Chains A and B, each alone.
Chain A
């Protein structure tokens, strides 16, 4: 550890954060590796979806079930939440007031929850139209892939609330900073997964 170490990809805290910046190296690298593994998980579920497109068993297909307007709004909400999380990360890095940091995190949470609310609404309306998971292989694959992303977003929201609670308890300390750095990566990762879902599932499905 005497030699200069490579910096982890993504937003670095910088030397002003002292030992936290150094500690981020190992933790962030580990989190990147975890995300790689998670990406494989999503990759497998994507493969399962793409190979099940024709397995409709006489049931409804994308044109009968998907609501592009709703999905487009969801996409906007999620993309905006990535932007607001970016603002939170900058507030953390440049040590702006805790109020500003928590404010951006709060906006992110609201956007994330808005996304989840709309998504659940979509799922319910699909089921109402006769498109439940047990209807066909195609719908099974859909309800594995898209809700898996939703479950990740839910986990991200719970994590975010916990971090805000930790800020209330400890202030923006060493562990809170490392937590926000990792959650930021996680959040942007889910954004990328969503872009893939939007393109592969919804856009390709409706063409």
Chain B
């Protein structure tokens, strides 16, 4: 009865005018409140205006139907992949602006600065949460979604509608983080949200709840993604595509998927238990009553460390493809790269404790985890040598993805070295909780993960959209990223050794100022890099007719995704390829079997579109929003809708549509005719307008076979 009374008295739960970002500054217009209120209100306005403009544009150009029926409800792995990457880029923009704001605060942070401590804490919490869960994860999931089925010669992933549901769950989580800019405040507990600080007794507000439900949605989505990708790789490979013939990107996708399957559940348990503590007064991680925060630390990092490799392995896969393709050489040490990838995946589960060396374990335990952490340097080192040997005496071209790859190799080795330093518990005791650590993990995350994702974006963009990205703006962006990164983070190593604690909103040591200013300049360069990426996209779309690569193979590619048109048809291949060796497309080009008409055209079954994904996104978002704000009727309605949607889906029959053989034949023959009419180009002409996506095979003198 009290529940019913509460529902009537507070239909909007704890939502009130005070949840608006400008309310506090109107009530109490002090200088601090005005500055923080204006920044928060501007951010909220950007979200609201952005949404309104988007809706207006879609309405103006009458694109709602196209958006719904060709994109949101699509079960095509290629479209889902593109939507993941779009989501990642939007979230990247927000998190980078937050990073710039934090650097600005610290540059002026001697005795104060302009941000309030709460505002600064919100910034590093959302920045970390977004970069991990809503930038890096969607980016790599998008790339794998697009590329992996093509690389193994499949028509789609094993469970196409589940794929769309995963996207929906991730997007709902991202939407929750975005709406936290407009109503209420996000968590101030960092991206790993340690209790007891995030418990209701210290943080009764909506912040930690936003964090909990955003992560829960995203981790469920990632679990399903992992299952989907792993089953696809095991079950959908084209004839002859044995495991040991798979392109390395697919190998890394497999290892990442296995990590997702095993590493996401601990996160789900950690956030669920924290939610039980906060909502139903359980005592998992509370102070007293038998709660123990160490359980959270263990669960979270049991997820958190494998997560690091979930992020980096696909990037390693991209570098492997890029380095091999742009050196016109088969990958050096394929077998060792596969073994190293598997080795890293296994070791990643044995090192989680190095995230809290200083939290009270005995020396032997710390020593074990320290040694295990250092061991990861071995397979990673193997990979670095393999990439260098791949370039050795190759026909290396300094295209944009290659610049990122070389930047990665140089910078990542430095980041890895600082990781080895931190893996020593006695050193960790000295520098833990300083910005030295911040420098280290950005040193592996930015040149490692982010450069890899952007390199992959440049590498496969022509395949997805049928035209190349502008090289000049791309190179400018790459150099801004590289220099911006170095200026922004190398000073932090020094600052950390001098003792600057991480997450400091302000400091009193004058000697920190010069390094902070250098880092701030780096932040400007990184923003410039993002701007250059956006300009590049705009310029490339504008000039798309000059850079079309319909024939589908702009880089003299080696694996099967290059063997079909750009963009590929919905069914990927008119006839499933038969694989006889590694680097299947290079082999086909050398043997003259590429660009052949199918022997026989047959009807092809592709998955029908389904509204399940967007429906689950909507009810998932509604349930999470209701839980965050204690709007119980919304939670109930959304939960019932969720169960109802799954039950109704169970009654769906006729889940596939058939593309008739004549249509497949017509599309394939039209493409083959356009290929026949295309002039092939040498690698020297690769970046010029002459490149229409047909590569001329070149013998390269001096290559070690």
Contact = CB atoms under 8 A, between A and B. Distances in A.
A137 B284 contact: yes
Nearest to B269: A44
A41 B268 contact: yes
Contact of B223 (A37, A44, A162): A37
Contact of A30 (B231, B262, B277, B650): B231
Interface stretch (A51-59, A122-130, A194-202): A51-59
A166 B650 contact: yes
A166 B651 contact: yes
Given A37-B227, A141-B284, 15 more contacts: A3-B239, A26-B158, A33-B227, A33-B261, A48-B269, A48-B273, A52-B290, A52-B292, A52-B295, A55-B291, A133-B281, A136-B290, A138-B290, A140-B290, A144-B284
B276 interface: yes
B239 A1 contact: yes
A25 interface: yes
A37 B221 CA distance: 13
Given A52-B292, A140-B276, A175-B653, A30 B284 contact: no
Interface in B268-282: 268-269, 272-273, 276-277, 280-282
Given A44-B299, A140-B290, A166-B651, A134 B281 contact: yes
A26 B235 contact: yes
Interface residues of B, number: 41
A84 B48 CA distance: 56
A169 B264 CA distance: 37
Interface residues of A, number: 44
Nearest to B261: A37
A38 B280 CA distance: 24
Nearest to B648: A162
A55 B277 CA distance: 15
Name, among A43, A44, A138, A175, the residue most crowded by chain B CB atoms within 10 Å (CB to CB). A44
10 contacts: A33-B227, A33-B261, A37-B226, A48-B284, A48-B299, A135-B289, A136-B283, A140-B284, A140-B290, A162-B647
A173 to B, nearest CB: 8
A80 interface: no
Nearest to B235: A26
Contacts of A36: 261-262
Interface of A: 1-3, 25-26, 29-30, 33-34, 36-38, 40-41, 43-45, 48, 51-52, 55-57, 59, 133-138, 140-141, 143-144, 158, 162-163, 165-166, 169-170, 173, 175, 179
B454 interface: no
B643 interface: yes
Contacts of B653: 170, 173, 175
B282 A55 contact: no
Contacts of A44: 265-266, 269, 299, 302
A48 B269 CA distance: 10
B273 A37 contact: no
Given A48-B284, A136-B283, A137-B283, A33 B230 contact: yes
Contacts of A56: 290
B227 A40 contact: no
Interface of B: 158-159, 223, 226-228, 230-231, 234-236, 239, 261-262, 264-266, 268-269, 272-273, 276-277, 280-284, 288-292, 295, 299, 302, 643, 647, 650-651, 653
B262 A144 contact: no
Nearest to B159: A30
Contacts of B283: 55, 57, 134, 136-137, 140
Contact of A45 (B269, B281, B288, B290): B269
B506 to A, nearest CB: 37
B269 A137 contact: no
A2 B269 contact: no
Given A33-B230, A40-B265, A2 B291 contact: no
A144 B283 CA distance: 11
A57 B273 contact: no
B279 to A, nearest CB: 11
A17 to B, nearest CB: 17
A21 B534 CA distance: 50
A2 B295 contact: no
Contacts of A34: 227
Nearest to A42: B265
Contacts of A57: 283, 288-290
Contacts of A26: 158, 231, 235-236
A35 to B, nearest CB: 10
A33 B284 contact: no
A173 B289 CA distance: 54
* Residue from A36, A37, A179 with most neighbouring chain B CB atoms (10 Å): A37
Nearest to A43: B265
Contact of B235 (A29, A140, A162, A169): A29
B289 A41 contact: no
B601 to A, nearest CB: 18
Nearest to A33: B227
Nearest to B284: A140
A173 B654 CA distance: 12
Contact of A29 (B231, B261, B273, B276): B231
B239 A2 contact: yes
Contacts of A52: 290, 292, 295
Contacts of B158: 26, 30
Contacts of A170: 653
Contacts of B276: 133, 140, 144
Nearest to B223: A37
A18 to B, nearest CB: 16
Of the candidates A40, A59, A165, A175, the one having the most CB atoms from chain B within 10 angstroms of its own CB is: A40
Q: Which of B231, B261, B268, B281 has the most CB of A within 10 A?
A: B231
B290 A55 contact: yes
Nearest to A44: B269
Contacts of B223: 37
Given A2-B239, A33-B227, A136-B290, A179 B266 contact: no
Contacts of B261: 33, 36-37, 40
A140 B273 CA distance: 9
Contacts of B235: 25-26, 29
